[in-house]
Amino acid sequence: MNVNFAQPLIQVRGLCKQFGELKVLENIRVDIHKGDVVFVVGPSGSGKSTFLRCLNRLEESTSGQIIVEGTDITDPKTNIDLHRQKMGMVFQQFNLFPHMDIMKNMTLAPMKLQKKSQQEAEKEAMVLLERVGLADRAHAYPSQLSGGQKQRIAIVRALAMKPDVMLFDEPTSALDPEMVGEVLNVMSELAREHMTMVVVTHEMGFAKEVATRVMFMDGGHFVEEAPPAEFFGKPKNERLKAFLSKVL
């Protein structure tokens, strides 16, 4: 498929999500362009993680459209597994397979879904492991790694599929403070390489540093978005001002 990158990579139109009577997302409308590094911030329970999980249909939306590279992925006829290959996802809890060593964790999806040979998949995995300083841990098991190491592995495992966009759901929230920096360094490098990223996080300093724009979610709505200097330096919305006064 020819992709026109003048068009947004992801278009969200009228996205709503309800759990029973509870409205978690209400009429969300967002465009994400190739190379955007979008940070989503806001209080707990505001809908941030639900929004992120809707982008690759790990959470099914109640209504609205999510158009990825020209395809409406909310259409039941869409092959969502094919589209998920283009969207790397990194969770809070790493989600590595505990019974597989790191090399097997890294090569499983490229071999199974992209039909790569074991030799090719392992060669590409080693390049990625070297990139994050963990080539020597290729045959270790997840239980033998620190939290920071596991999360770096989770990131490069997602990169092994050569995705068009990376989704991060509070990737440092389960880490000890001294391990946060090693994960943020990897994400900073991706941002410098213009990887399209959507990041749900509480790391405000990191958002200031690497985001192309920051979006504030409250009560299932995006109530303000702006480039980081404006977002943190000149917030307009009163709810955002109150939020920043507590977290900065």
Q: In this model, does residue 43 exceed pLDDT 80?
A: yes
- Residue 117: CB partners within 8 Å, gap ≥ 6? 111
Helix segments in 132-247, DSSP class H: 147-159, 177-192, 204-210, 228-233, 238-247
Question: Please, how many CA atoms are within 13 Å of residue 40, restricted to the half-sphere of its CB?
Answer: 27
For residues 72-89, give the mean pLDDT: 92
- Residue 195: CB partners within 8 Å, gap ≥ 6? 35, 37, 165, 166
Residue 97: strand, helix, or coil: coil
Residue 68 pLDDT: 94
Q: In this model, does residue 1 exceed pLDDT 70?
A: no
Do 64 and 220 meet the contact criterion of CB atoms below 8 Å apart? Answer: no
CA–CA separation, 124 and 103 (whole Å): 10
Residue 224 pLDDT: 97
Do 167 and 88 meet the contact criterion of CB atoms below 8 Å apart? Answer: yes
> Mutual orientation of helices 102-113 and 118-131 as an angle, nearest 10°?
130
Question: Using alpha carbons only, what angle is made at residue 210 by residues 222 and 3, rounded to the nearest 5 degrees?
Answer: 70
> For the chain, what percent of residues have pLDDT higher than 90?
92
Confidence bin at 22 (pLDDT 50/70/90):
very high
Residue 133 pLDDT: 95
Residue 196 DSSP class = E
CA–CA separation, 68 and 62 (whole Å): 18
For residues 230-240, give the mean pLDDT: 96
- C-alpha torsion sign, points 81, 87, 91, 95: positive
Rounded to 5 degrees, φ, ψ at 187 are: -65, -35
90-138 pLDDT per residue, tens: 998 889 999 999 999 999 999 999 999 999 999 999 999 999 999 999 9
Q: In this model, does residue 78 exceed pLDDT 60?
A: yes
> For the chain, what percent of residues have pLDDT higher than 70?
98
Residue 124 pLDDT: 97
Residue 248 pLDDT: 85
Residue 3 pLDDT: 43
Do 3 and 55 meet the contact criterion of CB atoms below 8 Å apart? Answer: no
**How high is the mean pLDDT of the chain?**
94
Residue 185: strand, helix, or coil: helix
Do 215 and 197 meet the contact criterion of CB atoms below 8 Å apart? Answer: no
